[in-house]
Structure 1
Amino acid sequence: MKKEDVIKQITTPLDAGAYPLPPYRFYNREYLNIVYKTDMESLRKIVPEPLEVTTPYVKFEIMKMPDVSGLGSYTECGQIIPVELNGEQGEYLHSMYVDSFPAIASGREISGYPKKLGKPNLYVDSDVLVGTLDYGTLRVATATMGYKHFPMSQAEALAEITKPTFMLKKIPGYNGAPLVCQLVRTEITDVEIKGAWMGPARLELFAHVLAPMKDLPVLEIVSASHIVTELSLSGASVVYDYLEEE
């Protein structure tokens, strides 16, 4: 392969790339979001500057994505923290556990999503929406929500899922020193809300050394939503470069 052709390739292996080029379109993307109150000091320890923690809240989120252009079908689960940067309200993506290698590879390499391999699941059990996360063979989280108890307005649903999101993109060099260390920003675009509901919910987290969700303990459930959408993701942009810090 010619040198100029090597540069044109998106990812390795060169003859069978790990993922296709974005943008990716998500059809019938289904959310279970549970916002809960946690320990403020625990949040301050893990949210990187210059982001500022604004409330003692965490959003536990499971997303079932059965139809994604280029990436197929997969499910994600993670913890998201409300933050502020230069007066803009947004969310910091703290952790994401995903059951698809192409989704993990593309998310980490292109945009810096904090994705690891896990086994999230979202399904209806009788009259309850259930979300679970396993890491290996061990249960990390179990979430339950009453199924479609109360309608949620389009405006409320949009506000729930369209906040700007911030992520830490960190890539080491061969000597172990950071080659890339950036805070990046992205957001959801071209959203169509196909259904949205609220209801009572419970969330239980279990201690795990490599999936430490319980380090942000559940003190009180604040709200829960179940949203079905069609949407796209914008490309990431750098908002702060740690290696260029004055």
Structure 2
Amino acid sequence: MRQLINDLSVPVGLANLGNKLYHNAQYLTAVVEVDEKAMARWLPSGMALVQPARADLFCAYFPENVYTGAYHEAGLFVHIKVGNKTGIFCPWMILDDDRAMIIGRELLGYPKKMG
């Protein structure tokens, strides 16, 4: 992990995007109702769906960023509750760039896969 952070310090330092990780990013997001029974299988123990059961389905294009070339991504953010707190949970993301996949998965903890 330390080596990966060191390896990324040079490209991040050379990037001139005004301290922004992404520049000119494009998003399309839709809030959708989800099947409670089907979605419950994706949730870790202790999480429950909010009511009404819903998720944010998104696709994105990142033409300029500080760590890799242009790439596309899609994913799902499920609206959840844990106790009396609400939040989102991401069961999956797919993308088309291996460097963005590794950085997003290993440094940020998102469940990214090539797709």
Q: Please, what TM-score do these two structures have when normalized by structure 1?
A: 0.39
- 1:95 & 1:8 partners in 2: Cα distance? 26
Question: Residues 106 and 88 (structure 1 numbering): CA distance in 2 closer, same or farther, change over 3 Å?
Answer: same
Tell me the amino acid that sits aligned with residue 116 of structure 1.
Answer: K
**Is the Cα contact below 8 Å between 1:25 and 1:68 reproduced in 2?**
yes
- 2:35 & 2:25 partners in 1: Cα distance? 30
**Is the Cα contact below 8 Å between 1:24 and 1:70 reproduced in 2?**
no
SS of the aligned residue for 2:25 comes to strand
Match of 2:102 in 1: 105
Match of 1:89 in 2: 86
Question: Residues 9 and 65 (structure 1 numbering): CA distance in 2 closer, same or farther, change over 3 Å?
Answer: same
Q: Is 2:54 the partner of 1:57? A: yes
Question: Residues 89 and 101 (structure 1 numbering): CA distance in 2 closer, same or farther, change over 3 Å?
Answer: same
**Is the Cα contact below 8 Å between 2:29 and 2:58 reproduced in 1?**
yes
Q: Is 2:54 the partner of 1:36? A: no
SS of the aligned residue for 2:105 comes to helix
Question: Residues 26 and 87 (structure 1 numbering): CA distance in 2 closer, same or farther, change over 3 Å?
Answer: farther
Q: Is 2:4 the partner of 1:10? A: yes
Larger fraction in strand:
1
Match of 2:22 in 1: 26
- 1:8 & 1:40 partners in 2: Cα distance? 40
- 1:65 & 1:88 partners in 2: Cα distance? 31
SS of the aligned residue for 1:80 comes to strand
- 1:111 & 1:86 partners in 2: Cα distance? 24
Cα deviation digits, residues 112-153 of structure 1 (max 9, x gap): 2111111xxxxxxxxxxxxxxxxxxxxxxxxxxxxxxxxxxx
Q: Percent identity?
A: 24
Q: Please, what TM-score do these two structures have when normalized by structure 2?
A: 0.77
- 1:111 & 1:73 partners in 2: Cα distance? 19
Match of 1:67 in 2: 64
What is the deviation of 1:64?
Answer: 1.0
Larger fraction in helix:
2
**Is the Cα contact below 8 Å between 1:83 and 1:90 reproduced in 2?**
yes
**Is the Cα contact below 8 Å between 1:66 and 1:72 reproduced in 2?**
yes
- 1:77 & 1:54 partners in 2: Cα distance? 22
Tell me the amino acid that sits aligned with residue 35 of structure 1.
Answer: V
What is the deviation of 1:48?
Answer: 0.7
What is the deviation of 1:90?
Answer: 1.5
Alignment of 1:114-133 (within 5 A): 114-118=111-115
Q: Is 2:75 the partner of 1:78? A: yes
Give the alignment's Cα RMSD to 1 decimal: 2.5
